[in-house]
Structure 1
C-alpha cells in the first residue's frame, strides 16, 4: 500500500506529458512486477492507424523516445496487433494477449474525447491476478484524468498538436541537451560538414491557405489543418516535437540528426503533403524554412527559420529552404545589432 501511494503521489504531481508517461510506466513496472511496460502513441497516416512506443522500460530503467534520439521509430501499422484492434473496435477497457511462450500482454487503450491516441502495454510472464488487474485499472483511471488535464492545457484543440504555450519549455529542454559552444566557434559550426549531428528548428506554412478558406469555407479549411497535422505526426519521429503556432503555421523541433538527413526529413514531409489528396480541396502544398539550433537565443533561431520560410514562399512556394545556405549564397543578409536582435 505504501508503494502504491508513493507512485500515485508521483503520478499526480506531474505537469508534463513525458514525465507523466514515465511515472505511470515506473509505477506499473514496480507494482505489477511486469517484464515490460510501454506507453504507445497512435496516429493516422494515409487512412491507416500506426502505433509507436513513446516511453518504455529498458534494463530496468525508464527510457523515452525524446531522450533516446538515436532510436528512430516511425511506427508500425496497428493492424499487425489484432487483439488491440479488436479491443479498440469493441471499445473495451482492456484486452489480454497470450504468446507461444505463455507471456501475457495486457493492452490498455486510453480513451479521451471518444478517441484513442495513447495505449499502455503491460507484459508479464504469466496471468494477471484479479487484484492486480483492479490496481492497474485504478492507476489507468488516474493516468487518463491527468492526460486529459495536460491535453487541455498543452495541446491545440483542433489538431491535437502541442500548442505555442508549450514551445518555450520544449525548446529550452532541447537547447540544454545541445552541445555548448563558444561564440567564436559558431561560424565554424555553420560551415561544418553536412554529416555533423545537430538539432534543427523548422517553420512550416500551408501555401495559399486563405484561398482554401475563401473558396471552400472554414470547415474544409479546418479539415486541411487536421490532415496536415496528421502528416506532420507521421513524417517525424517520436523524439521530435511538432507544434501548431496558430493559423496555418506549424513549428518542428528535429532532434539529433545531420544536415543532409534533416533536409531529407523535411523534404519527405513536403512531398507527403504534396501527394496527399485533400477531400474537396484537392492539392495542397507547404513551404518550410529551417535553421540550426545553436547557443543563440530562441528569438534569433526562430527568426532564422522564419526568414528561410519567407524566402521559400517568395520564390515559388512548395519548397524547403535552409537559412545558413541562403546567407552563404547571399540570398539573405543579416546584420547583428546586438545579442538578441537581427535586422534583415
Structure 2
C-alpha cells in the first residue's frame, strides 16, 4: 500500500485505537511493583504513543503532501533530478513510464469517458534538466470527433517541497477538471502536473540560478515544447496556462509575466510575490541586485512594460499571511490597466482559510474554470 493511500491511514488509525484499548485493558495487570511490571507499563505507553504519532503523521502527510512514497520518506527515492542531456541540440524528449486509469464513481474507466493519467519523464535540452511529471489527458482526447484537434494545456505546480502525487490525491486536479468538463464549465484541457523542485532538495523558485539549475528555462521552454511534441497540444502562448499553489503560485505568476511568449494566463493560489533567500534556496541571484529585482513581481509592475497576460491571485482575509501583499498586487495591476497596458487581473478572496490543502481545494475549481476560459479553443 502506498504511503499516501487511504488504506494506510485507516490501518494506522485502527491500530492506534486498538492499542489504546489494549493499554486500558492490560494496565491493571502491570499495576504491581517490580521491574517486569514497570517495563510492561513503559512498553504499553511507548507502543501506544508511537502508533498515535504515526497515525497523525500519516494523516498530515496525506493532507499536505510532504512525501509521496515510502522511498521518498526513507530517502531512497531514485527518480531523476538534475541530469545533463546529451541529445542533439534542439531535441526534447518525453518518456512515458506508467499509464493510469481514471476510476470515477458512476463514470467507468474508459479513457474516452473519463480520460487517462500518464506518468512521464520530461527531458529538456535547453536547460539540461529532467523531471518526472503526470499528464492528464481529458476524455475528448480519445474521442474520434476530436482526433484532428490540438488541445490547450496547463502546467500545474505544487508548492515547495511538495510531491506531484499530491496534485492528484490531495488537490485532485484531474478529478476536478473532469467534473467541470462534464458540467460544461470547463473546456477539455491537458494538465501537466509537476513540482517546482527539479533540483532536489534545493528550492530554486523557478528561476535560472547563476551557475546552477536553469529551472525557468526548463518550465518555460523545454516543458511546453516536449508536451506539444508528444501530445496533441498547441504550441503557442495562447494554448498554454500555468497554475500553482504557494511557491508554485509565485512560479506561475512570475513565469507568465516574464515569459508571455510561453504562457498567456497564470493562476497563483496563495502566492508570494518575490523569491525568498533562506537555507532552502541558497543564493539564487549570484549577488546580483538587478536579478533579484527582476524576480520581484511588485517591482516588475512598477518598472517593466506590462505583458499581455491574464493573472489570477488568491488569498484569505483571515488566515493567509499574503493577504496585504495580494491586495497591493491587485491594485498595482489595476493601475496598469488604467494606463491602457494589457495585463489583466482576477482574484479569489476567501473570508477565512489558512495556507493549506483544505483552502486550495476550495479554490481549485474556480481557478481551473477561469484558466480554461482564457486558453484557446481550436
Task: With the length of structure 2 as denominator, give the TM-score of the two structures.
Answer: 0.27
Between structure 1 and structure 2, the one with the greater Rg is: 2
Task: With the length of structure 1 as denominator, give the TM-score of the two structures.
Answer: 0.29
Q: Larger % of strand: which?
A: 1
